[in-house]
Amino acid sequence: MRAGGSLSPARLAFEDLAQHLLRGAARVRTIPPGDARLAPSFLVIGGQRCGTTSLYSYLIEHPLVVQSLVKEVHFFDNHFDRGGAWYSGYFPSQFYGRFVERRFGGKPITGEASPYYLFHPLAAERVARLLPDVKLIVLLRDPVARAWSHYSHEVAKGFEALSFEEAIECEERRLDGELERMVSDPSYRSFNAQHYSYLARGRYIDQIERWREHEHFPAEQLLTMNSSGLFSDPEAALNRVLRFLGLPPTRLRAYPKHNTYKHGPLGEETRRRLREYFAEPNRRLYEYVGTDYGWGS
Count CA atoms within 13 Å of residue 123 on its CB side.
26
Categorize the per-residue pLDDT at 5 as very low, low, confident or very high, splitting at 50, 70 and 90: very low
pLDDT, tens digit (0-9, with 9 covering 90-100), for 179-234: 999 999 999 999 999 999 999 999 999 999 999 886 679 889 999 999 999 999 99
pLDDT, tens digit (0-9, with 9 covering 90-100), for 80-119: 999 999 999 999 999 999 999 999 999 999 999 999 999 9
**C-alpha torsion sign, points 245, 247, 251, 254:** negative
User: What residues contact 50, with CB distance under 8 A and at least 6 apart?
Assistant: 115, 139, 140, 141, 146, 227
Mean pLDDT rounded to a whole number for the chain = 88
Edge-to-edge order in the sheet of strand 42-46? 65-67, 109-113, 42-46, 135-140, 222-226
Cα 116 from Cα 261, distance rounded (Å): 19
Cα 93 from Cα 112, distance rounded (Å): 15
E strands in 166-221: none
What does the angle CA 36 – CA 63 – CA 242 come to, to the nearest 5 degrees? 95
**Cβ(284)–Cβ(206) under 8 Å?**
no
For residue 77, give Cα distances in angstroms to 129, 177, 186: 14, 17, 9
The closest of 129, 120, 124 to 182, measured between CA atoms, is 120
Categorize the per-residue pLDDT at 68 as very low, low, confident or very high, splitting at 50, 70 and 90: very high
Alpha helices by DSSP H, 60-163: 83-88, 94-104, 123-130, 143-157
Report whether pLDDT(6) > 50.
Answer: no
- What b/e string do you get for 73-99 counting C-beta neighbours within 10 Å, with b at 16 or more? bbbbbbebeeeeeebbebbbbeebbeb
Decide which of 10 and 36 is more confident.
36
Domains of the chain listed by start with CATH number = 9-289 (3.40.50.300)
